[in-house]
Amino acid sequence: MKLPFAPSIEVEFTDREKALKQVECWAESSTRFPIVVFGPEECGKSAWLRQSIELLRELDYEVVYVDPLYREFLSYTSVREVVEKLLKASSEALGIAEIKLATLAIDAIKDILRIGKRRIAVLVNEVFQAIGIDRAAMYVKSLLNLIEYPPISYEKIVTVVATSEDLSRREIGRHLWSNYK
């Protein structure tokens, strides 16, 4: 799978079959818990998430991707209100904007559900560095609540958070609801 990185530059990644197959499995059955992927900086988590966007879109998912550190979002949804909210948050001044953008990813999925879309995915990159380690567990718990108590029923949902912040493992893993031990 090729990804555009700059105008007229496409990069093809190799040895991603297993990771993309895992995303495909999640898409087929939904994620029961938010998936938190840990990896060192520059190991390819962001590129993998971008490839996952393309895969999920091919599987007819509405996808919201947010990277609060880089104040970036990609919204592959026909829900105009969602796109407008994310645009507004990403254009705000540095500081509170990162936190607002991170929480808007969850709000955006709720909005997409209310409109009646049934296959949704939220992919969030490096959120813990933006919102703080002390809020990492709360953020993952919010995603879990979205899966368990959605505002309206859905067919399938995929939630993935990628981070290089290793300290968040202990913070998230200490909770009984975490599938990370």
pTM: 0.78
- Three-class SS string for 50-111? HHHHHHHHHCCCEEEEEEHHHCEEEEECCCHHHHHHHHHHHCCCCCHHHHHHHHHHHHHHHH
pLDDT digits over 122-154, tens only?
Answer: 999 988 888 888 888 888 888 998 899 888 889
What pLDDT digit, counting tens, does each position of 164-173 carry? 877 777 778 7
Q: What is the Cα–Cα distance from 96 to 68, expressed in whole angstroms?
A: 10
